[in-house]
Structure 1
């Protein structure tokens, strides 16, 4: 089994303490020689300036390949493309192009007047510049807004056809979830790499709530395992074992790249 190529996703720091914590984390992970590290956008584009600053700082000071998240939310087409151009000007040419979540309290996504209506429009516009390597999101389980899982795969194919080079999946709890999704994507004619998104479990009650909000299936055995582990104060050991086992299974099934959500 070959050593996998890894990448890591970070939140942009919101204060000085978080900035130091991010820098320390990057120093720990850099020796793993990640393909890239990415910096997220908050819901509703709330961290746009923080994301830009974090991306620029990491690119300038770490030597790592840095990817910036970019969404369609709360900005016109011109504003969004200006942000992308700003990334290109400082040498950041990897973008994770997403529709993005609406601002909290607004319910369903509504395009900004003059803005991109969806991720495909954003991808097409970025691809037309010829300046960027584009990655997109993928959902091994049905997106909460999708009609069904077939619609998710059809939408992913449209994103790849629009100019994306690779897809990063939402997290999942069982490797079979990803493997079945990979097979269905191949059957649908999607030839671009699909990279599993791995979310190590740090706080099970909190992550469980997050998974429910994302529509991620929670296996009964996982609930039972953490109930026992928390009672015995062995939850960290369990979380490490589960993450290691999942990655090992994926690699044994031919997966060559892993994307870690570091939180």
Structure 2
């Protein structure tokens, strides 16, 4: 079986907090373009060990006030429960209703993990502090977390996050569709019954894609690597090929029951919007399978 049980399809775009006023101005333009498609929400990333905390807060609050629900990423690595409490209270006061709860990465040179070590601890903490106020998203890894001891342990770790109170999950990006559906089937046999939304990374730059994918454990199938290599410095051909590959992947995901898509925009509008428009998502009702 490929599809999950009936879940309303949802679509979202992810940003990272800009470092400069110029970056914020660019993000505002990107946000305005993406908002025309009326996504369900935007999300904003959170640096390792909370290194972008202030910028994440400001970006989330500013974007949320403009009319589309915006979800902050929140990580527990390197954080204290006091800091997390302050952040949850701040977000609640600003009518933020969705949080992406992550373990996060330990920054170079930081020796302590913090009071909460794993994402399931963070989910449990949010639930104890804020009850059901927040819709909690967690991460899922169809090709398994690069630091997982083995595949079975990774599935157990995912179940812990769900049991702690997660409402839904967003996957790391992937280009092997079978890995997503196999992951969904496996967690369903474990009694997990939440939407698992595919994370989608548009392909626009070969060297950046390979470097980042190798670092985070996302497989780029050999045939895609070889075709991208063949284009060399022909950026337009890389973008065209990438758009075709990812559009076809998204079509299959939706046709076979994925409960929506989450686009990793890298603060660019065009690559994600091209895929969105190819799929005619603005013309479709958000249906439940």
TM-score, structure 1 normalization = 0.93
Secondary structure at the residue paired with 2:13? strand
Cα deviation, 1:2-58, whole Å, max 9, x if unaligned, reads x95310110011101110111111111112111111000011211000000001101
> Is 1:67 aligned to residue 67 of structure 2?
no
Question: Which sits farther off after the overlay, 41-50 or 223-232?
Answer: 223-232
Distance 2:189 2:112 in 1: 32
Give ranges in structure 2 of 5+ residues lacking alignment.
1-7, 267-289
Quote the residue 1:123 is aligned against. 123
How far off is 1:229 after superposition? 2.7
Residues 196 and 259, structure 2, Cα contact 8 Å, conserved in 1: no
Structure with greater contact order relative to length (CA < 8 Å, sep ≥ 6): 2
> Is 1:13 aligned to residue 15 of structure 2?
no
TM-score, structure 2 normalization = 0.85
How far off is 1:183 after superposition? 1.1
Distance 1:231 1:26 in 2: 29
Secondary structure at the residue paired with 2:108? coil
Counterparts of 1:17-166 in structure 2 under 5 Å?
17-60=22-65, 62-106=66-110, 110-112=112-114, 115-128=115-128, 129-130=130-131, 131-166=133-168
Quote the residue 2:5 is aligned against. none
Distance 1:80 1:42 in 2: 15
* RMSD over aligned Cα atoms: 1.6
Quote the residue 2:271 is aligned against. none
Counterparts of 1:214-253 in structure 2 under 5 Å?
214-230=216-232, 233=235, 234-253=237-256
Cα deviation, 1:167-202, whole Å, max 9, x if unaligned, reads 100111121121111111111211011010001112
Distance 2:142 2:85 in 1: 29
Residues 41 and 68, structure 2, Cα contact 8 Å, conserved in 1: yes
How far off is 1:117 after superposition? 2.1
Residues 78 and 112, structure 2, Cα contact 8 Å, conserved in 1: no
Distance 1:93 1:214 in 2: 28
